[in-house]
Amino acid sequence: MKDNKNTPIWLKASAVYVSSLMSALFVFITVCAFDGLVRSGPSLFGSVWNPEGGQFGIMPMIWASGLLSVSSLVMGWSFSVGCCCFIRGYGPKWMAKLLARILRIMTAIPTVVYGFASVFLLVPLIRNGLGGSGFSWMTASLVLSLLIMPTMVLSMDSAFRTIESETRLTSAALGFTREQNIAMVVLPASKQWMWSSALLGFGRAAGDTLIPTMLAGNAVQYANTPLDAMRTLTAHIGLVLSSDVGGTAYLSLFVAGGILLFVSISANILFRLVRRKSL
Amino acid sequence: MKRIVVSVMLAIILMASSAVAAPLDVFKGQKGNLDIAGGTAHIPVMKEAAKRIMSVNPDIRITVAGGGSGVGVKQVGEGLVTIGNTGRALKDDEISKYGLVSFAFAIDGVAVVVNPANKVDALTTQQVIDIYAGKIKDWKEIGGEPGAINVFGREDGSGTREVFTEKAINKGELAPSVNVVSSNGAMKTAVAQDKRAIGYVGIGHIDKSVKAPKFDGTVPTQENAANGKYKVTRNLYMNTKGEPQGLTKLFIDYIFSSEGAEITKESGYIPLPAKK
């Protein structure tokens, strides 16, 4: 911040450009969301979505978005921590290398591939094995956790790698094995990175549209068991937007979008606060 | 040698494409804009036609927008677009107020479908109403193998859903537990895989992967939809303000040409002949 003088003008200009674009987006969504809020009134916070009947309840969608992103995050994050420990010390070297390579490849796989493969592989498995239609909270959550894993692992692992190489010799001198070093030294030391990777994962999980649209069934109801179908806010926006332009139903989508924006901003702020405290 | 093969192939492709492009010849030398809006079911047909016309003649610009039947009537009536599409016949006051002329060019039929392994091969209106309202929950209640019914529907604003709700279940209520998919293709995938599923698709989309049981005693086929025996249908209309002129007339004639009918069929509808 002190070296402002030396910043090239084009860099400043692009920074101003990007931030003004972002704030324009915020203002646009807020204004439209307010319009939607006024027009659809209290019915917005009911649980019936029936635009023809003037009911625009998006509560089931909010519930579904929350449930799906948190459950995917918990699953994905736990696996990510496991993967990182495996790569940095617990697993045999060749397997660790293989796993790291696979995870790297996974970041490049388009979401639609996960969705499409799951429709033909995972959905029938869940339908025949556990019941229901197979399009459910559980299906979407399993795939979503897989989807957010590579990003989380890669961001966690960059911290793990640095800290591990910094501490390995010292811990070895103290008589720690590699595994003990990971568990006792590296894990606690990279706490803030684990938080920030959870933030990354949460953002992706809450914002993903394709996986819930293709796999969660999209029924407008409160999902109570993992086998129930659900419709997330993102899937809802996608489904209604594909056909409707204008009108109250359309404007109510901005409220849904505004809520998503609000959630991701508060998650960001929250995680930042936590991170600052841990520093 | 390779060069010869390639040039022969190119020649064949060129010949084939010029042969296909024949009905498009009338657009050569034309110029201007054509704006189309309204019913969403029409969009695939309109878009494909527009694409073909614009690729033979880049001087013509055609825009295609959705909005629904109401928007179609309003915009064409007020002169905002040249062709306003509707998925229903015009009301008398709409015709008199704006002086609109209608061209029905396709039949859009919708059939209830189940998995090919499902034993049920006839359904009544009442049964379908009860299934979609969540009152009938198990296949054994309507003579199938015991097992919970997995109900699939389409998203809000889908033309297929509109026909289904209005003509098949008489605007009956939909249970919140109905799963929603967003295309005819996704519907077929869902039903083809699931022995306990029920859904609905445009008649043009029915193939071996799904089974369409008799609906109130009538087999949902293109023929039965065309001759009026099968009731869950609607006509798709293009509407113009006054008799169409110039480019607008050419476009409408093109939709009624053999190639236009082909596009209509590919989009899953039954083409109708032009009224003389």
Among A120-129, A241-250, B23-32, the least confident range:
A241-250
Residues of A in contact with B68 (CB under 8 A): 244
Residue with tokens 């198990």: B138
| Confidence band for B13, pLDDT divided at 50, 70 and 90 | low
**Degrees, nearest 5: CA angle B138-A215-B171:** 50
pLDDT of B15 higher than 60: no
If interface means Cβ-Cβ distance under 8 Å, which residues of chain B face chain A? 40, 66-68, 71, 148, 150, 152, 155-158, 176-182, 186, 189-190, 193-194, 196-197
Q: Report residue A45 as tokens.
A: 């916070």
Residue with tokens 């646009």: A28
How far apart (Å, rounded) are the C-alpha atoms in residues A177 and A111? Answer: 39
pLDDT tens column, B194-227: 999 999 998 888 889 999 999 999 999 888 888 8
Query: For residues A151 and B40, which has the higher predicted lDDT (pLDDT)?
Result: A151
Residue with tokens 């937007």: A241
Which residues, at least 6 apart from B256, have a Cβ–Cβ distance to it below 8 Å? B103, B105, B273, B274
Query: For residues B6 and A210, which has the higher predicted lDDT (pLDDT)?
Result: A210
The closest CB to that of B155, out of A60, A127, A243, belongs to A243
| Confidence band for A250, pLDDT divided at 50, 70 and 90 | confident
Residues of B in contact with A127 (CB under 8 A): 194
User: What's the pLDDT at B234?
Assistant: 86
Q: Report residue B267 as tokens.
A: 């989009």
CB B160 within 8 A of CB B154: yes
Query: For residues A179 and B11, which has the higher predicted lDDT (pLDDT)?
Result: A179
Length of chain B: 276
> Which residue on chain A is closest to B160 by alpha carbon?
A243
CB neighbourhood size of A81 (10 A):
19
pTM: 0.77
Report the run of H or E that residue A16 belongs to, with start and end.
Answer: helix A9-40
Q: Answer whether A54 touches B (CB < 8 Å).
A: no
Which phi-psi region, left, alpha or beta, contains residue A132 (left: φ > 0; alpha: ψ -120 to 50)? left
Residue with tokens 């799951």: A118
pLDDT tens column, B114-164: 999 999 989 999 999 999 999 999 999 998 889 999 999 988 767 788 889
CB A60 within 8 A of CB A46: no
End-to-end CA distance of chain A: 20
pLDDT of A208 higher than 70: yes
User: What's the pLDDT at A34?
Assistant: 87
> Which residue on chain A is closest to B178 by alpha carbon?
A219
| Confidence band for A78, pLDDT divided at 50, 70 and 90 | very high
What ipTM did this prediction achieve?
A: 0.79
> Which residue on chain B is closest to A50 by alpha carbon?
B156
CB B266 within 8 A of CB B46: no
The pLDDT mean for chain A works out to 87
Is B179 in contact with A219 (Cβ distance < 8 A)? Answer: yes
pLDDT tens column, B49-79: 999 999 988 899 999 887 777 778 888 988 9
User: What's the pLDDT at A213?
Assistant: 92
pLDDT tens column, B71-128: 788 889 889 999 999 888 888 888 888 999 999 999 988 999 999 999 998 999 999 9
Average pLDDT for residues A35-55, to the nearest whole number? 81
Following DSSP, what letter does each residue of chain B receive, concatenated?
-HHHHHHHHHHHHHHHHHHHTGGGGGGTT--EEEEEEE-STTHHHHHHHHHHHHHH-TTEEEEEEEE-HHHHHHHHHTTS-SEEEESSPPPHHHHHHHTEEEEEEEEEEEEEEE-TT----EE-HHHHHHHHHTS--BGGGGTS-SSB-EEEEE-TT-HHHHHIIIIISTT----TT-EEESSHHHHHHHHHH-TTEEEEEEGGG--TTSB--EETTB---HHHHHTT-S-SEEEEEEEEESS--HHHHHHHHHHHSHHHHHHHHHTT-EE-PPP-
Q: Answer whether A238 touches B (CB < 8 Å).
A: yes
Q: Answer whether A76 touches B (CB < 8 Å).
A: no
Best of B169, B180, B195 to substitute, by most chain A Cβ atoms within 10 angstroms, is: B180
The pLDDT mean for chain B works out to 87
pLDDT of B6 higher than 80: no
How far apart (Å, rounded) are the C-alpha atoms in residues A240 and A253? Answer: 8
Average pLDDT for residues A111-131, to the nearest whole number? 91
Best of A243, A244, A245, A248 to substitute, by most chain B Cβ atoms within 10 angstroms, is: A243
User: What's the pLDDT at B88?
Assistant: 81
Q: Report residue B148 as tokens.
A: 């919970």
pLDDT tens column, B245-267: 889 999 999 999 999 999 998 88
Best of A125, A133, A250 to substitute, by most chain B Cβ atoms within 10 angstroms, is: A133
Q: Answer whether A201 touches B (CB < 8 Å).
A: no
Expressed in percent and rounded to 5, the helix, strand and coil fractions of chain B are 40, 25, 35
Residues of B in contact with A249 (CB under 8 A): 156
Which phi-psi region, left, alpha or beta, contains residue B43 (left: φ > 0; alpha: ψ -120 to 50)? alpha
Which residues, at least 6 apart from A53, have a Cβ–Cβ distance to it below 8 Å? none
| Confidence band for A117, pLDDT divided at 50, 70 and 90 | very high
